Structure 1
Amino acid sequence: MRLRRLSLALLSGGILGAGYWPGSWGVFAWAAYVPLLWVVRDSTPRQAFLWGMAFSGAEFAAATPWLYDVVRRWLELPAPARAFCFAALCAYHGLMAGLACAAGRRLAQLWHDRRGTDLTAAAAAFMVPALVAAEGFFPRQFPAQLAETQLFHLPSVQLLEAAGPAGLAWLIIGFNAALYLCFRSYKASSDQFRRYAALLACVVVVLAANEAWGRWRMSRVDSETALRIAQGRSLRVGMVQGRLPHDRDYLRLSHERDLHAHNLSAYDRLSREALASGPLDLLIWPGNILPDVFDYGSADSFDPSLGGKPLGSFLRERISGRVPTMFYTVGRDRDGARRWAVVLTSPSQEPLALAEKMILTPFGDYTPGGSLFPFLRRLNPNTRAMSRGTRPGVLRLPDKARIAVLICYEDLVPGYAAGFLPLGAEVFADIAGNSWDDTTMLPYQHMRFAALRAVENRRYLLRSTISGVSAVIDPAGRIVQSIGAREEGVITTTVALLDGQPLSGLVGRWLYRLAAGLLAGLCLAGLSARRTGGPRTRPRSP
Structure 2
Amino acid sequence: MFFALFGGLFYTLGLPGYGCLPCLFLGLLLFLYALEDKGPRQGFYTGFSFGMSHFFLLLWWLAPTINQYGRLPLPLTFPVVALLALYLSLYPALWACVYTYFLKKTPRIVLATLGGGLWGLTEWMRGTLFTGFPWGVLASSLHDFPLLIQLADLLSIYGISSLLFLSVLLIWGFIIHLRNKSWKESLYLFLGFWTVFLGAVYYGKVKMNEYDVPPDICAVAVQGAVPQSIKWDPGVMEETLNKYFSLTKEGCFERDCDNKTRLVVWPETAVTTYYQDDSVVQERLQEFSRENGVFLLFGSLSYEFSTPGSRPQYFNSAYLIGPNGDLLGRYDKRHLVPFGEYMPLGPFSELAKHYLPTAGDFDTGVRGAAIRATDGLTVGILICFESIFPGLARDAVNHGANILAVMTNDAWFGRTPAPYQHEAMSVFRAVETRRWVIRSANTGVSSIIAPDGTRIETTEIFVPAVITAKVGLLTDKSPYVRYGDYGFFLFVLLLCVPVLPFTACRQGLTL
Residues 289-308 of structure 1 mapped to structure 2, 5 A cutoff = 290=271, 292-294=273-275, 305-306=276-277
Structure 1 residue 182: deviation in Å?
A: 2.1
Question: Which TM-score applies when normalising by structure 2?
Answer: 0.87
Write the deviation string for residues 223-272 of structure 1: whole angstroms up to 9, x where unpaired.
xx2xx33xxxx112333222325xxxx3x556555543232121122233
Structure 1 residue 35: deviation in Å?
A: 2.6
1:153 corresponds in structure 2 to 145
Mapped pair 1:328 → 2:299:
yes
**Counterpart selection for 1:173 from 165, 171, 183:** 165
**Counterpart selection for 1:57 from 52, 56, 72:** 52
Q: Distance in 2 between matches of 1:519 and 1:156?
A: 19
Q: Which moved further from structure 2: 258-267 or 270-279?
A: 270-279
Question: Which TM-score applies when normalising by structure 1?
Answer: 0.82
1:3 corresponds in structure 2 to none
Structure 1 residue 312: deviation in Å?
A: 4.6
**Counterpart selection for 1:473 from 440, 446, 449:** 449
Relative to structure 1, is the Cα distance of residues 291 and 204 closer, same or farther in structure 2, using a 3 angstrom cutoff? closer
**Counterpart selection for 1:133 from 110, 118, 121:** 121
Q: Distance in 1 between matches of 2:271 and 2:24?
A: 45
1:211 corresponds in structure 2 to 201
Q: Distance in 1 between matches of 2:59 and 2:6?
A: 16
> Contact conserved, 1:166 with 1:509, CA < 8 A, in 2?
no
Mapped pair 1:267 → 2:257:
no
2:220 corresponds in structure 1 to 238
**Counterpart selection for 1:283 from 241, 259, 264:** 264
Residue 185 of structure 1 aligns to a residue in which SS?
A: helix
Relative to structure 1, is the Cα distance of residues 127 and 212 closer, same or farther in structure 2, using a 3 angstrom cutoff? closer
Structure 1 residue 178: deviation in Å?
A: 1.7
2:386 corresponds in structure 1 to 410
Residue 306 of structure 1 aligns to a residue in which SS?
A: coil
Q: Distance in 2 between matches of 1:238 and 1:125?
A: 43
2:14 corresponds in structure 1 to 19
Opposite residue 137 of structure 2, the aligned amino acid is: Q
Relative to structure 1, is the Cα distance of residues 31 and 488 closer, same or farther in structure 2, using a 3 angstrom cutoff? same
Residue 200 of structure 1 aligns to a residue in which SS?
A: helix
Residue 416 of structure 1 aligns to a residue in which SS?
A: helix
Opposite residue 87 of structure 1, the aligned amino acid is: A
Residue 499 of structure 1 aligns to a residue in which SS?
A: coil
> Contact conserved, 1:74 with 1:382, CA < 8 A, in 2?
yes
Q: Distance in 1 between matches of 2:19 and 2:284?
A: 48
Opposite residue 203 of structure 1, the aligned amino acid is: F
> Contact conserved, 2:152 with 2:432, CA < 8 A, in 1?
yes
Opposite residue 200 of structure 2, the aligned amino acid is: N
Relative to structure 1, is the Cα distance of residues 196 and 362 closer, same or farther in structure 2, using a 3 angstrom cutoff? farther
Residue 211 of structure 2 aligns to a residue in which SS?
A: helix
Residues 15-164 of structure 1 mapped to structure 2, 5 A cutoff = 15-22=10-17, 24-30=19-25, 32-106=27-101, 108=102, 117-118=105-106, 126-138=114-126, 139=129, 141-164=133-156
Q: Distance in 2 between matches of 1:516 and 1:207?
A: 17
Q: Distance in 1 between matches of 2:277 and 2:169?
A: 59
Q: Which moved further from structure 2: 203-212 or 403-412?
A: 203-212
1:299 corresponds in structure 2 to none
Structure 1 residue 130: deviation in Å?
A: 2.8
> Contact conserved, 1:370 with 1:376, CA < 8 A, in 2?
no
Q: Distance in 1 between matches of 2:333 and 2:183?
A: 53
Structure 1 residue 48: deviation in Å?
A: 1.0
Q: Distance in 2 between matches of 1:254 and 1:387?
A: 22
Opposite residue 468 of structure 1, the aligned amino acid is: G
Q: Distance in 2 between matches of 1:261 and 1:310?
A: 11
Opposite residue 132 of structure 1, the aligned amino acid is: G
Opposite residue 40 of structure 1, the aligned amino acid is: L
Residue 134 of structure 1 aligns to a residue in which SS?
A: helix
Residue 369 of structure 1 aligns to a residue in which SS?
A: coil
2:460 corresponds in structure 1 to 484
Q: Which moved further from structure 2: 490-499 or 133-142?
A: 133-142
Relative to structure 1, is the Cα distance of residues 332 and 194 closer, same or farther in structure 2, using a 3 angstrom cutoff? same
Residues 137-536 of structure 1 mapped to structure 2, 5 A cutoff = 137-138=125-126, 139=129, 141-188=133-180, 190=181, 192-222=182-212, 225=213, 228-229=214-215, 234-245=216-227, 250=228, 256-277=233-254, 278=258, 281-286=262-267, 288=269, 290=271, 292-294=273-275, 305-306=276-277, 312-313=282-283, 315-316=285-286, 321-335=292-306, 336-369=312-345, 372-510=348-486, 512-514=488-490
Gaps of 5+ in 1: 1-5, 295-304, 538-542
Relative to structure 1, is the Cα distance of residues 288 and 427 closer, same or farther in structure 2, using a 3 angstrom cutoff? same
Structure 1 residue 185: deviation in Å?
A: 2.5
Residue 340 of structure 1 aligns to a residue in which SS?
A: strand
1:540 corresponds in structure 2 to none
Write the deviation string for residues 501-532 of structure 1: whole angstroms up to 9, x where unpaired.
11222342235534776799799878866x78
1:301 corresponds in structure 2 to none
Q: Distance in 1 between matches of 2:66 and 2:187?
A: 46
Residue 339 of structure 1 aligns to a residue in which SS?
A: strand
Write the deviation string for residues 420-469 of structure 1: whole angstroms up to 9, x where unpaired.
22222111111111111232332233222211111111111111121222
1:297 corresponds in structure 2 to none
> Contact conserved, 1:460 with 1:473, CA < 8 A, in 2?
yes
Gaps of 5+ in 2: 307-311
> Contact conserved, 1:403 with 1:429, CA < 8 A, in 2?
yes
Q: Distance in 1 between matches of 2:287 and 2:111?
A: 68
Relative to structure 1, is the Cα distance of residues 367 and 193 closer, same or farther in structure 2, using a 3 angstrom cutoff? farther
Opposite residue 362 of structure 1, the aligned amino acid is: P
Q: Distance in 1 between matches of 2:211 and 2:139?
A: 20
Write the deviation string for residues 201-232 of structure 1: whole angstroms up to 9, x where unpaired.
1221221121133123223322xx2xx33xxx
Write the deviation string for residues 144-164 of structure 1: whole angstroms up to 9, x where unpaired.
322210122221011212222
> Contact conserved, 2:58 with 2:136, CA < 8 A, in 1?
no
Q: Distance in 1 between matches of 2:272 and 2:10?
A: 46
